[in-house]
Amino acid sequence: MSEKIEGKIIRIAGPLVQATGMTGVRLFDVARVGKIGIIGEIIKIDGDIVSIQCYEITDGIFPGESVIGTGVPLSVMLGPGMMGQIYDGIQRPLPSILKETGSYIRRGVDTPALDLEKEWEFTITAKKGDAVEEGDVIATVQETESYLHRIMVQPGVNGKITSIVASGKYNVLKVLAEVEDDNGNKHEVKGHQIWPVRIARPIKRRLASDEILITGQRIFDTFFPIAKGGVAAVPGPFGTGKTVTQHSLAKFSDAEVVVYVGCGERGNEMTQVLEEFPHLEDPKTGRPLIDRTTMIANTSNMPVAAREASVYTGVTMAEYLRDQGYSVAMMADSTSRWAEAMREISGRLEEMPGEGGYPAYLGSKIAAYYERGGKVELLGSDSRIGSVSIIGAVSPPGGDFSEPVTQNTLRIVKAFWALTKKLAEQRHFPAISYLESYTLYWDVLEPVFIEKFSSDFPELRARAFRLLQEDNDLQEIVQLVGPDALPPAERITLEAARVLKEDYLQQNAFHDIDQYCSPEKQVQMLRNIFDLYDRMKFLHDEGVELNEITSLDIFERIARMKYENDVGALSKLNNDIVNLDPNQFQIVKI
């Protein structure tokens, strides 16, 4: 750590402060601005003049006040106490700040990210004399009933343990072990780690993302799946359901840990998340979902500069959780607000603007962020695997997918889940366009789907795509001549597509049963729909009128499938469908 350097403010432009006399500071070091001690980050150096991006409002700061360069980069504190916590964009715990300052956050407040006084029950798993490598686990803490926190040797430390404490209760500042390297240098291993947010944590090597991230959302699992360690974008205009979609993914994806970043979204939406999560039941453990979730709240009414840092804070925390051997799902809502913060700061730095006024380096910043996701082999003497799946919402103005943030995101992500205003206006939710969206993970995941879903799942998925495409082609004709002018075979196709769209693709995020759909249920629902489609064609070929077929109560039972938890009941429905007999039609019709 370098020594502190003091300078003087010479210019203030919103959250951007310029100071002189700062020779010796480094780019991205943290600085304390003014008498209040506002937190800022050095983002430009020109001789002894530096530009500081402040993470708090600069009202009341005057030229001539002092600036202190701390000599350390913007970093996060990682250790027991992260689960269930709510942080701001630079990892200050909001509940602790509330106790210290009341409802309104006082500028310059410096609250530790972890509770430094709380004692945790550390179970020591290593012993004196053990040879350890960076990433090796030397202790565990049962942080919550759903989450076992693994204390690791920090990156860059390899050697032999010369001393280690016994299992017991300690705070996160406790030195748990001392490691001596080959050169005789001693390194302390504590109950926490400090890591700079703009530097990715090291790994052994990247692996292929070949494991499904099951979301419980039919539109994603069936049509546009994502792998664990995959990256996806959810773009859509205002009111199409990006935030609700992100909430559903955070609640029900089968990742072991969730990091949720509310980046520049409305305060009332974030409040809803914060109030809801403590009461949600984890489908895996039956415990509160908050026990394995950490959240970052940087809403639209908070300082814009902290928004730029919040996604880095979130992804660094996600990497640390991954390094313990967990699969992590990170939600960022939304990266457009992050890009807007970059644009504002870039403008104040008087940089040459690129397309849409965004900085010329927008594409590389977005790429660097998403590339921190992935499935990896972790550091350590034993072979361990972890993953970070990044799902970022994008808010293109007016739903224009050709704008720079969406286009630069599209170049990086492999799953594109496009939300459309048209479907939202039809009250079709999730409003994911099944014709515009795509995934590049299917070829890798297909064998896994056969194993985890069913052997006929790829065929059912392919049939669903064909049916939706045929329906889209026929809708153009229907708008010209009406459905009654179509031949019966095409009217049957339209009816089957209607069932698929309304009774399968639509999913109620607020219904106790329908908000999550298991793989077994998804497969059985698809089978029922396509068996009904085939039976409709068979009955019509046998001379049964189409209006008589569609008046069967079987259609009402199909519509109620999504609200049925018992897969056995869906199998019984399938049996009733395939046993529809034209000779008995007068008995079963309504």
What CA–CA distance (Å, rounded) separates 321 from 457? 33
Distances (CA, A) of 575 to 314, 455, 474, 525, 528: 49, 19, 30, 13, 9
* Mean model confidence pLDDT for the chain: 91
% of the chain at pLDDT higher than 70: 98
Please state the separation of Cα 126 from the chain's center in Å: 34
What CA–CA distance (Å, rounded) separates 135 from 128? 17
* pLDDT of residue 527 exceeding 90: yes
Q: Which residues contact 117 (CB under 8 A, 6 or more apart)?
A: 171
* pLDDT of residue 259 exceeding 60: yes
Q: What is the mean pLDDT of residues 198-219?
A: 95
pLDDT value at position 223?
96
Would you place residue 350 in the very low, low, confident or very high pLDDT band (cuts 50, 70, 90)? confident
Nearest to 279 by CA among 271, 263, 266, 290: 290
What CA–CA distance (Å, rounded) separates 110 from 132? 35
CATH number of 205-441: 3.40.50.300
Write down the architecture of domain 120-191 according to CATH: Beta Barrel (2.40)
Would you place residue 2 in the very low, low, confident or very high pLDDT band (cuts 50, 70, 90)? low
Per-residue pLDDT of 95-135, as tens digits, reads: 888 888 887 777 888 889 999 999 999 999 999 999 999 99
pLDDT value at position 104?
75
Nearest to 215 by CA among 413, 430, 436: 430
pLDDT value at position 492?
94
* pLDDT of residue 301 exceeding 60: yes
What CA–CA distance (Å, rounded) separates 369 from 350? 24
Question: Which of the following CATH numbers is that of domain 457-588: 1.10.1140.10, 1.10.1060.10, 3.40.50.300, 3.90.550.10?
Answer: 1.10.1140.10
What CA–CA distance (Å, rounded) separates 494 from 467? 9
Nearest to 213 by CA among 416, 522, 445: 445
Residue ranges per structural domain of the chain: 5-73, 120-191, 205-441, 457-588
* pLDDT of residue 354 exceeding 80: yes
% of the chain at pLDDT higher than 90: 70
CB 58 within 8 Å of CB 19: no
Would you place residue 585 in the very low, low, confident or very high pLDDT band (cuts 50, 70, 90)? low
Class of 5-73 in CATH: mainly beta
Reduced to 3 states, what is the DSSP secondary structure of residue 512? coil
Q: What is the mean pLDDT of residues 312-328?
A: 97
